[in-house]
A = this chain, B = another copy of it.
Amino acid sequence: MAENRRFLLVRRPSGEPVPEDFALVSGPIPEAPEGGLVVRNHFISLDPAQRGWMDDAPSYMPPIPLGDPVRATTVGVVHASNNPNFTPGQWVMGLNAMEDYSVAQPGGFTMPVDVNAVASPSNFLSALGAVGLTAYFGLLEVARPKAGETLLVSGAAGAVGSAVGQIGKIVGCRVIGIAGGAEKGRRLIEDYGFDVAIDYRGKSVEALAADIREAAPDGVDMVFENVGGDVMDAELLNLAHNARIVLCGLISEYNAPEKVGIRNLWRVLTTRSTIHGFLIADYADRFAEGGAKMAQWLGEGRLRVDEDIQEGLENAYDAFMRLFTGANTGKLVLKIA
């Protein structure tokens, strides 16, 4: 019998989420509201930002209410529709939740996607979704790279970081990536074409800073920051004058009950650098432009965006936690249908 399984947030995590913060429940498939639709979710995007939404803290989106399913971007098929713009059977993506079936209200973020144009519908959650667009607009519009400049990327083997580094190479930059472990370093060089890979694991701020200095003796012109904490402190010790830091994520801090913080902000002052808080949502009116360019580079083989596809809503917790253990090897997606 068809049912709607839902992965609920039942308690706000204190630091690292534990299984008891969530509950998998089952209920009836919802009906389409007046003017809205019901989406059968096939692929669920698992993103660090979801951890922030679990906290009861001011942010760019309201916290996920306790008892609600965990908010997520999904790609799926229209199951029922009371909206003339959507037809059952049609593929769509939208801001829904970690559940089999989501209700999409009229005027929401749901939009049709052309799955025939891509290798897998999940691509709309990676290269052609928020991940790819974050890399595209964050690097090209916020950092504004010039050919010959040096770009430093943290979380470089991650979905966003690996795309940022590749786009940096496309536009003529020297690209240095920071990631954890030898295997990720190998992927940076061999799979994504970075010039230098630096392993942060087991290193003090000073030791990591020394490694960056060796790779970029004149300092780095741009930092694409996905990590924060000690990694960012080491980066700040290596800024060139007038460096631009794109503040895209601080994943090392999201689960930290006591945040490590940034101690080397004085280097931003002495180098006259700038830190730019960046959210991809602000570029919504240019998604088509960015998506077209990413699709072109993918088609030309100049860009590679890996996906780490986990399966089954019953594995939602374990899949989500791969974001924080460094286990994921590409854009993390949960396939549920």
Contact = CB atoms under 8 A, between A and B. Distances in A.
Interface of A: 52, 58-60, 228, 237, 247-250, 253, 259-263, 265-266, 268-279, 282
A265 B282 contact: no
A274 to B, nearest CB: 5
7 contacts: A52-B266, A58-B237, A250-B265, A269-B277, A269-B278, A274-B275, A274-B276
Given A262-B262, A275-B275, A277-B274, A269 B282 contact: no
Contacts of A260: 261, 263
Contact of A270 (B60, B253, B259, B276): B60
The DSSP consensus for interface residues of chain A is loop
- The quantity of this chain's copies bound in the complex is 2
A135 B278 CA distance: 27
A206 to B, nearest CB: 12
A300 to B, nearest CB: 32
A263 B261 contact: yes
Contact of A269 (B248, B261, B266, B272): B248
Contacts of A278: 269, 272
B274 A263 contact: no
A284 B147 CA distance: 29
Contact of A268 (B253, B269, B275, B282): B275
Contacts of A58: 237, 270
Nearest to A256: B263
A273 B277 contact: yes
A2 to B, nearest CB: 38
A269 B253 CA distance: 13
Given A261-B261, A274-B274, A266 B253 contact: yes
Nearest to A274: B276
A243 to B, nearest CB: 9
A62 to B, nearest CB: 12
Nearest to A60: B270
Nearest to A273: B277
Contacts of A266: 52, 228, 250, 253
A230 to B, nearest CB: 11
A263 to B, nearest CB: 4
Contact of A247 (B237, B269, B279): B269
Contacts of A263: 253, 259-262
A249 B268 CA distance: 11
Contacts of A253: 263, 266
